[in-house]
Amino acid sequence: MNPHYDELETRDPALREAALLAALPVQVVHAQTHSAAMAQALHGVDGRAVRTRADLARLPVTRKQELFARQKAVRAAGGDAFGGYSTLVYGGAMPRIFASPGPIYEPEGRAPDYWRMARAIFAAGFRAGDLIHNSFSYHFTPAGSMMESGAHAVGCSVFAAGVGQTEQQVAALQDLQPAGYIGTPSFLKIILEKAAELGVTFPSVTKALVTGEACPPSLCDWLAARGVAAYQCYATADVGLIAYETPAREGLVQDEQVILEIVRPGTGDTVPEGEVGEVVITSLNPDYPLIRFGTGDLSAVLPGICPSGRTNTRIRGWLGRADQTTKIRGMFVHPKQVDDIAKRFPEVLRARLVVQGEMAHDVMTLKVEVHDTRAAEVLKPQLAQAVRDVTKLRGDIELCPSGSLPNDGKVIEDARSYA
């Protein structure tokens, strides 16, 4: 059985680099010509002359917050929902539209395996004829569709499980006996714990592709002890698949259709191999041609070639956030959202969102400074509801005396353990 999805994964690295750099100026010119947002970002750039990585490194980085701000501003001025980043128009060329937290709107085009997830699904061990239990959301965010289209490209059937309803998830797994699971690792742990509580087993589930949040070694070991080999991938709603884990278990291999850079956070300067920095992606997708898109995620390039035989660049995986935007239970929470919550209550002087936990059990606490903690007790239910309304996540509320929160500029503190 072929251990690789296609011959692209094992080609000579020099041939891959030549192909990517040949596609680069074509994509830059396409972005300048068909994307109003990228035309503005790349104003004055001769796209045809962007032929090397050094040329690429001189272009500006567009970060997620800028994408969000432009989308919002263009919509307010009566423009398109995508802020001029998409080259598609409504109708047959754009069958679906998604919304990530913010909201940030993403188009989906008609190309097969549009988000290029098949490569990661194949590397996780799924093969044609397998049934996959897909527990990613099928509403608003593109995760469910991303995984389903990739699974279809591999030749798999998909049970559209979606999120929540743990006991019904367990029942479906028992009834259908799928080959494996796709979703967040924390939800898989919850499902397996519920199954054990109910005395239910589904021995057919031996593999999983997990993403959307950190999956520390301790959680991978926990899943393996229950017969599930979990593999990670790294993808975003903006550019699709970026990198994926292989059976070698040595970092994540870069996808074949993106150009990856690691830059010093807050700049566009590339860092030496091995140094931790922000992941910046240039997408070769003509429908959503993001040039030097800053993901806000930290990683580093690993030296050498993957023992699996795949010859593309490897990264260490997700090492945290370059800014304070934080992913909690698979959802991004932005500092501005914390500010929006605090501004709803005149009694709140300062606010700080603290995320704690380990082994996929995230605990989110909004700490707020008030003049009188006893008098402010009546605010706690209202604050909790505001947290849920704004972030779509549940969180605890802690009232703090005035001046007690650290004066370090942090709005979101990630205090989780990833050991």
Number of H helices, E strands in the chain: 11, 21
Contact 208, 228 (CB under 8 A): yes
CA distance 148 to 243: 18
Q: Is the peptide bond before 401 cis (omega within 30 degrees of 0)?
A: no
Contact 115, 107 (CB under 8 A): no
CA distance 390 to 380: 15
Output the six-digit token pair for 181: 């699971």
Under DSSP, is residue 209 helix (H, G, I), strand (E, B) or coil?
strand
Which residues of the chain fall short of a pLDDT of 50? none
**pLDDT on residue 419:** 58
CA distance 281 to 298: 12
Contact 159, 186 (CB under 8 A): no
What is the residue extent of each domain of the chain? 331-414
Contact 75, 99 (CB under 8 A): no
List the end-to-end C-alpha distance of the chain, in Å, as a whole number: 35
**pLDDT on residue 359:** 64
CA distance 73 to 372: 38
CA distance 230 to 210: 7
Query: Which residues have a Cβ under 8 Å from the Cβ of 189 and sit 6 or more positions away?
Result: 219, 222, 223, 359, 360
C-alpha dihedral (129, 310, 12, 255), degrees to nearest 10 = 70
CA distance 94 to 191: 35
CA distance 166 to 68: 33
Entry pTM: 0.81
- Partnered with residue 263 across adjacent β-strands are 270, 278
**14, 275, 281, 289, 296 from 55: Cα distances, Å:** 18, 21, 15, 17, 22
Nearest to 260, CA basis, from 207, 322, 313: 313
Give domain 331-414's CATH superfamily: ANL, C-terminal domain (3.30.300.30)
CA distance 127 to 113: 15
Output the six-digit token pair for 226: 């229950």
**208, 277, 315 from 273: Cα distances, Å:** 30, 10, 10
Contact 238, 67 (CB under 8 A): yes
**pLDDT on residue 179:** 98
